[in-house]
Structure 1
C-alpha cells in the first residue's frame, strides 16, 4: 500500500471531526444530510478509499460517543465509496459523485440496513425498503449542498488546487495536463 502523505491524513481527520460535530446539530429525524455532504466532498477531494475510511470513522465515533444505531455505518460507507468511484470513473464529474452517494446510501445502504437493524439490533416489523425513502431524501439534501459547494470551488479554480495538493502534484502541471487533454 502506498504511503499516505501528512496533508491527506490531516484532511481526512478534519473531515472526521467536522462530520462528528455537525451530524447531531444539523440532523433531520431519520436522515443525516450533513453526512452526505461530507461523504461527497471527501470523495471528490481525496478519492473512494479515503472517503470510505472517513465515513467509517465518523460512523464508529457517532455510534460509540452518541449512541447512534448501526445506521451511522450502513447509511454512509457505501455512498462514500461509490461517490468516489463514480467521480473517478466519470473523470471528475461532480454530479456523478452525487449520483454515487444517492445509489450507495439511498438504495444499497438503505437495503443493507434492514438485516442489520432486524437481526443485530432487534428491530421488528421492518420491510426491506423501510429505510429507502428517508435515506434517499437525506442524500438528496446533502448531495445538493455538496454539489453547490463543489461547483463553487470548481468555478473559482480552487477545487483542482485542493485535489493536486492532496495528491502531492504540482498544480501548474495538473492544470496544463487538463488543458491539453481538452
Structure 2
C-alpha cells in the first residue's frame, strides 16, 4: 500500500500534467491567455491535496507551460494566488461552493492585480490600468470554477462512499 505522501505526489504530478497539456486549449482575451483547466485543477488540488500542494501544482504547471511556450509569466500570480485562496477555504470550510468562489476571487481579483507588475516589469508590457487583467482572469477562472463545481458535485459523493 502506498503511503499518503506518495499518493499526494502522484496525484500532484497527474494534475500538473493535466494543467500543462490543457494549455494547448487556452484562448486569448484582452491581452491575456485564458486557461480554464488550470482553475479546475486548482480546485481539484485544493479538495484532494490541500493548499500547499495546490500552490506547488499551480507553480509547476505555470513553469512547465512557460518552458513549453504555452503560457505567459502572468500565469504564476494568477494560478498560485487562486490555488492558495481555494485551498485555504476548502481546508477550513469543506464547502465546495465557497471553494469555487474563492478560486474565482483569488485568481480573478488578487491574481489579476498581481499580474499587472509582472506584465509591466518582467514582460515589458504597458497595461492601460492595474485592473486591466481582472476581466480576462475572471472569464478564465469562471469557466474553470464552474466546471470543477459540476465535476466534483458528482465525483465527491462517490469517492466518500468508497
Flag whether TM exceeds 0.5 (same fold): yes
Partner of 2:134: 132
Output aligned runs, 1:20-169, within 5 Å.
20-24=20-24, 26-29=25-28, 30=32, 31-66=34-69, 68-90=71-93, 92-155=94-157, 157-158=158-159, 160=160
Structure 1 runs (4+) greater than 4 angstroms displaced:
none
Partner of 2:11: 11
CA distance in 1, matches of 2:84, 2:39: 12
Unpaired runs of 5+ residues, structure 1, are 162-170, 172-182
CA distance in 1, matches of 2:70, 2:145: 25
After TM superposition, give the deviation of residue 22 of structure 1 in Å: 1.1
Unpaired runs of 5+ residues, structure 2, are none
Question: 2:90–2:96: 8 Å Cα contact kept in structure 1?
Answer: yes
Question: 2:81–2:110: 8 Å Cα contact kept in structure 1?
Answer: yes
TM norm structure 1: 0.81
CA distance in 2, matches of 1:87, 1:64: 30
After TM superposition, give the deviation of residue 120 of structure 1 in Å: 1.4
CA distance in 2, matches of 1:99, 1:59: 21
CA distance in 2, matches of 1:47, 1:130: 30
TM norm structure 2: 0.90
After TM superposition, give the deviation of residue 126 of structure 1 in Å: 2.6
Superposed CA RMSD in Å reads 1.6
**Which SS does the other structure have where 1:66 is aligned?**
coil
**Which SS does the other structure have where 2:65 is aligned?**
helix
After TM superposition, give the deviation of residue 67 of structure 1 in Å: 5.6
Q: Report the count of equivalent residues.
A: 156
